Structure 1
């Protein structure tokens, strides 16, 4: 009897499998992670156990590393490498170079910072004004900027850093790296391939494949990073994805709602977050029971509590 093909799974199933696999990887159990990924492939969640995006288009073949020669903008970027590198060195010599910690919790050890020029088609003027030469060069690549599917950044990784195994959220895009400052030591695994950067040259890979980075050198690694649409993606699907992704403000609002936050306030020194009534009630109840006025979970995932002083109200 011929077996019935398994149905394509939806985003909810993919997200739950991805979270479970990430939990195994966080516990440094790659065998369990691989077994879970292969089970997911057998159940029609993905086609390749090393390619696990939540937003998944099964019509796109699972290819982890692409030939840079297939992309018109690669020689353009490589020709402009000396200008981008010279501006980078100039800005790095200033006190305020604009590099900020990467927001994603992917760094196991070390230091990883970036300057963001574009995200989800939104231009960040401050970064573009700080790096006007680089901004002018990348603005000639609409596949990555205002019409782009992801981010355009300068990514700076310090020696001794380790970025943990992870998969990008979508296989509808590819990631491009132009090596700007490449010492001996850094390397990246994408799927089952190990890659090394070359100064002034581009790598193109699918970051929806599991990838990780090690930097065992003695100087920072800096690349120009940009996301572009997958070349085999139907233009109609590309437009639908672009229209559905929403602005950065929309994504921040959605995140705050999901976390039970109603207000965020920049005091200059810190960001104050105000919870909704449900979350505030829960935290206040815990504080009363514990007799504390501060709860801090940053230390090894334990509650660090500061007792109330005399005469302090609840």
Structure 2
């Protein structure tokens, strides 16, 4: 069955994405699949498992690629031993700049990463901690300065589940170089189940629904890189890179969306202060319920030591 070329706006894609994600979060995966199929029928996407908000319909929907088709996979694999030697010196991930990934993608378990690049922005501290790895990344321009995604070391602990999700754009591909690969971790991309191998690369389109499960006993570590999709024409690629927001602009946008007016870091502690509008809202609510403090736990508001269902 052939589907019509996508013709819907980004706003429509965003709303379908939110609905599908909400259905999955509630555990109604059948309804989520039916909704994704309806979206394809309505010309939102071309494949029900590929649901990015930023979508280029000219790129064929293909979930997994042959690593040997890309020059940089040989570059990464040739440098595997040097990267692994640098990684083997890490006995305390937190002390070496690995930070927890705490977001809706983490269904359970523990997931940490150290980021070298994000949307072309170089994180000097990470590169100084891992100079060998940073040098290898910088030898791949489409993943470093000219990249639109991230370059990280991803440390996944046993018992972790990264829930099914779709990346935000199909304008790039994701590359994994296996560094520490014990028995147990597996990744699904679309309908394909992939296994990592130490010293070998995987290449896939993360705009397809994918998830990771680690049922082993030792951490899995990969070098993760986003690279520009080779199917992009030069004009589209340049337009995407020109539209990249600076890191400062992204932080400003995040703080505005979250109602944060100020952030302070004291050692490992992070303190967030609400902006004026958000602070006023919370203050009014606490006054109404007669409480002096509130905390969000498992989707419920907790006032002092009393849990109120809202």
**5+ residue gaps, structure 2:** 306-310
Q: Which residue of 1 aligns with 2:303?
A: 305
Structure 1 distance, partners of 2:203, 2:181, is 16
C-alpha displacement of 1:188: 0.3
Q: Which residue of 1 aligns with 2:308?
A: none
Q: 1:186 to 1:269 in 2, by over 3 A?
A: closer
Structure 1 distance, partners of 2:103, 2:140, is 25
Matches within 5 A, 1:137-156: 137-156=136-155
Asked if structure 1 preserves the Cα contact closer than 8 Å seen for 2:167 and 2:208, the reply is: yes
SS of structure 1 residue aligned to 2:206: coil
Asked if structure 1 preserves the Cα contact closer than 8 Å seen for 2:153 and 2:223, the reply is: yes
Q: Which residue of 2 aligns with 1:129?
A: 128
Deviations 1:111-130 (CA, angstroms, capped at 9, x unpaired)? 10001011110111111111
C-alpha displacement of 1:277: 2.8
Structure 2 distance, partners of 1:7, 1:94, is 44
Structure 2 distance, partners of 1:227, 1:93, is 26
Q: Which residue of 2 aligns with 1:172?
A: 171
Structure 2 distance, partners of 1:12, 1:94, is 39
Structure 2 distance, partners of 1:65, 1:44, is 23
Structure 2 distance, partners of 1:6, 1:193, is 24
Matched, 1:250 2:224: no
SS of structure 2 residue aligned to 1:293: coil
Q: Which residue of 1 aligns with 2:180?
A: 181
SS of structure 2 residue aligned to 1:21: helix
SS of structure 2 residue aligned to 1:149: coil
Asked if structure 2 preserves the Cα contact closer than 8 Å seen for 1:6 and 1:43, the reply is: no
More divergent stretch after superposition (243-252 vs 95-104): 95-104
Matched, 1:193 2:221: no
What's the RMSD between the two structures over aligned residues? Answer: 1.5
Higher alpha-carbon Rg = 1
Deviations 1:121-147 (CA, angstroms, capped at 9, x unpaired)? 011111111111111111110010011
TM-score (norm 2): 0.94
Q: Which residue of 1 aligns with 2:50?
A: 51
Matched, 1:77 2:76: yes
Q: 1:95 to 1:286 in 2, by over 3 A?
A: closer
Q: Which residue of 2 aligns with 1:90?
A: 89
More divergent stretch after superposition (16-25 vs 270-279): 270-279
Q: Which residue of 2 aligns with 1:312?
A: none
Number of aligned pairs? 302
Q: 1:6 to 1:191 in 2, by over 3 A?
A: closer
Matches within 5 A, 1:238-277: 238-277=237-276
C-alpha displacement of 1:92: 3.2
Asked if structure 1 preserves the Cα contact closer than 8 Å seen for 2:17 and 2:51, the reply is: yes
SS of structure 2 residue aligned to 1:96: helix
Deviations 1:6-35 (CA, angstroms, capped at 9, x unpaired)? 871111110110011011111111100000
Q: Which residue of 1 aligns with 2:39?
A: 40
**5+ residue gaps, structure 1:** 308-314
More divergent stretch after superposition (261-270 vs 64-73): 261-270
C-alpha displacement of 1:235: 1.6
SS of structure 2 residue aligned to 1:115: strand
Deviations 1:265-305 (CA, angstroms, capped at 9, x unpaired)? 224453332333322221111110111111101x2211111
Structure 2 distance, partners of 1:254, 1:153, is 22
Structure 2 distance, partners of 1:273, 1:167, is 29
Structure 1 distance, partners of 2:17, 2:277, is 28
Deviations 1:249-274 (CA, angstroms, capped at 9, x unpaired)? 10110121122222222244533323
C-alpha displacement of 1:208: 0.3
Q: Which residue of 2 aligns with 1:213?
A: 212
